[in-house]
Amino acid sequence: MVKSVLSSAIKEYLLAFADDEHLMGQQHTEWIGIAPFLEEDMAFASIGQDELGHASMLYALILEGSSEVDAFIFNRKPEEWRSCQLVESNHQNWEEALMRHWCYDMAEDLRWELFRESSLPELVLISERALKEEKYHRQHADALVENLLKVSTSKSRLMKALEGIVPEVLELFSSIPGETEAISSGLVSGKYCDKLPTWRSRVENRFGVLDQKLFATSDHQARTKRHLDFAPLYGRIREVFLLDPKAVW
């Protein structure tokens, strides 16, 4: 039996990122075809594909070349997922979907930056590719937001959505299982939570100074507690799989 290169703590650390990317991509797909105009349908489709692609590369790394990637992803119990609540919550309005896209992508490059000098060469390559794609995600979200903030009615919609999303973003930055070992082994260059001030300054540069209270509360449970919206999402993701566990699709 080949000895695993990655420790279980490091796999747990990478799993949090893979699950976030997977569910963020999944959430974007829910908006294809019902966005305000065709260009946005296509943009959400493109960004969703990129995020799922990142997830796929991270899962492949965790599974160290196993071909059972889908079985691993889709047969897990809810408590075995390590996604954050931001990507699990079901947003009903397009302003919430846009603001989640803005907030998540303004945080995502900061996460990939931590892998730029990783001790794992594959991660360096994945992060370089992801950082190139993320630049366009941020440009897309920010150009739309910049214009929508110029009109008072759309501005108030975005600000209300932002206030609901900021507390969820704090969990994204909170302590990630396996992080201590990931840092000591050289897998990443530092703690993700240290990037929170950078993210906050991006938010306040674009939207102005926000109520301090928004940054004070977060239900941190090390990504072990699933959002109430996770159950139906989990059901949709596994619906075809559950028809016949033996089937290869």
Partner 1 sequence: MKRSWASLEEFQKFLDHGGIVEPVDDMPREYRQTVFDFIEMHANSELMGGLTERDWIPKAPGLRHKMSVIAKTQDEIGHAHLLYMVAADLKIKTREEMMQDLFAGKSKFHNVFHYRAKTWGDQVAIAFLVDAAALVSQQAVFKNCSYGPYKRILKRIIAEEGFHLRFGEESVLRIAEGTEVQRNMFQDSINDWWWPALQLFGPDSKPNDLLLRWHIKSERNEILRDRWIQKFVPLLQGYGFTIPDSGLRRNEEKDRWEIGPIDWKPLKQTMIMGGPDSARRISEASDSWEKTGWVREALEKVSA
Q: Using CB under 8 A as the criterion, which residues of the chain lie in contact with partner 1 when the complex forms?
A: 22, 25-26, 29-30, 32-42, 45-46, 48-49, 52-53, 55-56, 59, 69-70, 73-74, 93-94, 147-148, 150-151, 153-154, 157, 233, 236-237, 239-241, 243-244, 246-249
Please report, for residues 54, 99, 118, 128, 214, the alpha-carbon distance to residue 47 in angstroms, rounded to integers and kept in the order given: 11, 14, 25, 17, 27
CB 166 within 8 A of CB 102: no
Report, in Å, the least distance between residue 235 CB and partner 1.
9
Question: What gap in Å lies between CA 5 and CA 65, rounded to an integer?
Answer: 11
Q: Which is nearer to partner 1, 44 or 199 (CB)?
A: 44
CA atoms within 13 A on the CB side of 10: 22
Q: Biggest alpha carbon distance in the chain?
A: 63
Q: How far is the CB of 85 from partner 1 (least distance, A)?
A: 18
Whichever of 19 and 113 has its CB closer to partner 1, that residue is 19
For partner 1, give the closer residue by CB, 32 or 110.
32
Token pair of 187, please? 């897998």
What minimum distance in Å lies between the beta carbon of 36 and partner 1? Answer: 4
Smallest gap from Cβ 217 to partner 1, in A, equals 29
